[in-house]
Amino acid sequence: MAVWCADEAGPYQAIPQPGASWQSVGQPIRYPHEYIRGGTAKLLTLFHPATGQVRVKGVTQSPNTVLHPWLKQELTAIVAGLPPVKAVKEAAANRAAWARWQDGLSVRFTLLDDLPPLRMLLILDNLAGHKSAPFVCWLMAHGIMPLYTPLSGSWLNMAESIQRILVSRALAGQQPSRPEQLIEWLEAGARGWNAAPTPFIWGGKRALRASRRENGVIVWAVPVR
């Protein structure tokens, strides 16, 4: 089962961004003393934790009229690239495959009467726009089950994690003056990430290192010459 995460990051202002930067000796970085807002940009994101691949689009605003068409376009391409699935002969078994993902939920949306085979799980934040009936019905019609993070639990959406990485790489220490620059740098950061993506794994190497620190175990890395 393919699992993708969706989120919208920002807005990011076109002002000097904090962060580390490289400067020549004796020539420290200088920021303008004027506080001029040059506009904002946001980053639409689809993230595949199993492979680390990310799909993004920079925009100046992200109402449903902008977000939903982009999601539909990208999700259609993703589903088309998934391995073929065997059609479920029994409608009851197919419906049960969908319904099991609603077990334990206090609020459940109504499943379509005619459901295709389930192809993908889509993790979304608990926002009203993500729950609009036309959008949810479109997802189900394309074999996509939307799952919403609980209130105050948006950290469960791994799209937010990759967004923090991309924003740090693209904007830290930079001085954008226009939204177009923000969009260009954010999208370039995503292309650079996709050139050598890192899969996101719960309880992976980073969790192991944190566990060792908590247990008082220090691991030294000795360079080999």
Q: How confident is the model at residue 225 (pLDDT cuts 50, 70, 90)?
A: very low
| CA dihedral sign, ordered 153, 157, 158, 160 | negative
Q: Has residue 80 got a pLDDT over 70? A: yes
Residues 35 and 14: beta-carbon distance below 8 Å: no
Q: What pLDDT does residue 143 have?
A: 95
- pLDDT score of 68: 96
CA 213 and chain centroid, separation: 29
Say yes or no to pLDDT of 154 above 80.
Answer: no
Average pLDDT over all residues of the chain:
87
pLDDT band at 140 (very low <50, low <70, confident <90, very high): very high
- What sign has the CA pseudo-torsion 198, 203, 204, 205? positive
- Report whether 9 contacts 163 (CB < 8 A): yes
Residue 115 pLDDT more than 80? yes
pTM: 0.82
Which residue is listed with tokens 């791994």?
158
Q: What is the DSSP letter of 89?
A: S
Q: What is the model's pLDDT at position 160?
A: 92
The per-residue pLDDT for 218 is 52
First to last CA, the chain: 44
* pLDDT score for 87: 66
Q: Give the percent of the chain with pLDDT over 90.
A: 59
Edge-to-edge strands, sheet with 40-48: 53-59, 40-48, 2-13, 120-124, 144-148
Share of the chain above pLDDT 70, in %: 89
Query: Can you read off the two tokens belonging to residue 214?
Result: 């908590």
Q: What is the pLDDT, as a whole number, of residue 173?
A: 82
What digits encode the pLDDT tens for the residues 184-206? 999 999 999 999 999 988 776 76
Give the residues across from 7 on adjacent strands.
45
Report the distance separating Cα 166 and Cα 192, nearest Å: 9
* Domains defined for the chain, CATH in brackets: 2-214 (3.30.420.10)
Question: Within 10 Å of residue 139's Cβ, how many Cβ atoms?
Answer: 20
- Range of weakest confidence among 43-52, 159-168, 198-207: 198-207
